[in-house]
Structure formats: C-alpha cells, structure tokens
C-alpha cells in the first residue's frame, strides 16, 4: 500500500466487516446513548413535515411573523383549503399555534426548535 497503512484483517475487499461484532463495549456505549425508538419515531415524523415544500415555505414565513391563513395560502401559492389542511397537520404535531381574531385565524410558530432546523436545511 502506498499510504503507509496496513490492511485491516476484519475488512474484506468490499469494505464490509467479516466479523459480526468486533467492539461490543463500543456498541453497548453507543446503544445506551441513542434516543429511544419512540423519540426516533417523533424526530423522523417532524423531519418529514419539514420535507414538504409547501410546509417548509409556510414554516419559513411563520418564522418571520404571524400570518393569517389567506396570506399563507398566497405565500405558498395554494388555495385556502389546501393551506388549512397543511396548517391542521402542523398544528397536530405542535409546530404551529393559532389565535382567532373575529373571523380570522392567525398562525405563528409554536416550537422554537423549528426555526434552527429551517436554517440548517438551507446550509
């Protein structure tokens, strides 16, 4: 080898381990530090919500200011019925909250962790 490193006998030429469990202590430490299956489920559901272009746009808008349903529909270029459906979904997962003022419903971010996720996704 030209790099000066010795080949690892636990790896075959395909890069896959030939040994089932080489470092049981490391595996145990990592498994103990991992989130629970329920936490992983919640996190992946939250990320799926952000993965939709319309919802991402809505959450990005709400990160800037509180807006009514019709204004959010205009920003996302969808009809009000579609926007209401998206907002119900976001509300059910605790990402947005709303307040009523007369016949108008105004939405805002309800979870402070959303804004950093939106920014991180752009980098």
Tell me: pLDDT of 9 over 50.
Answer: yes
Tell me the mean pLDDT in the region 33-45. Answer: 92
Res 21: pLDDT: 80
72-99 confidence digits (pLDDT tens): 999 999 999 999 999 999 999 999 999 9
Q: CB neighbours (10 Å) of residue 94?
A: 11
- Spelled out in words, what is the top-level CATH class assigned to the domain 44-122? mainly alpha
Instruction: Give percent above pLDDT 90 in the chain.
Output: 67
Question: What pLDDT is recorded for position 15?
Answer: 73
40, two tokens? 């992983």
Please give the full DSSP string across the chain, using - where no structure is assigned: --SSPPPPTTB-TTS-BSSS-S-HHHHHHHHHHSPPHHHHHHHHHHHHHHTSHHHHHHHHHHHH--EEHHHHHHHHTS-HHHHHHHHHHHHHTTSEEEEEETTEEEEEE--TTHHHHHHHHH-
Cβ(98)–Cβ(91) below 8 Å = yes
**What residue segments make up the domains of the chain, in order of their start?**
44-122
């Amino acid at each position: 080898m030209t790099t000066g490193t010795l080949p690892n006998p636990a790896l075959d030429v395909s890069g896959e381990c030939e040994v089932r469990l080489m470092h049981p202590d490391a595996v145990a430490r990592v498994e103990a530090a991992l989130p629970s299956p329920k936490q992983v489920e919640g996190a992946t559901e939250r990320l799926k919500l952000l993965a939709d272009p319309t919802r991402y746009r809505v959450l990005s808008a709400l990160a800037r200011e509180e807006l009514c349903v019709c204004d959010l529909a205009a920003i996302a270029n969808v009809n009000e019925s579609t926007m209401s459906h998206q907002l119900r979904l976001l509300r059910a997962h605790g990402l947005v909250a709303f307040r009523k003022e007369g016949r108008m419903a105004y939405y805002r971010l309800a979870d402070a962790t959303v804004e950093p996720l939106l920014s991180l996704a752009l980098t």
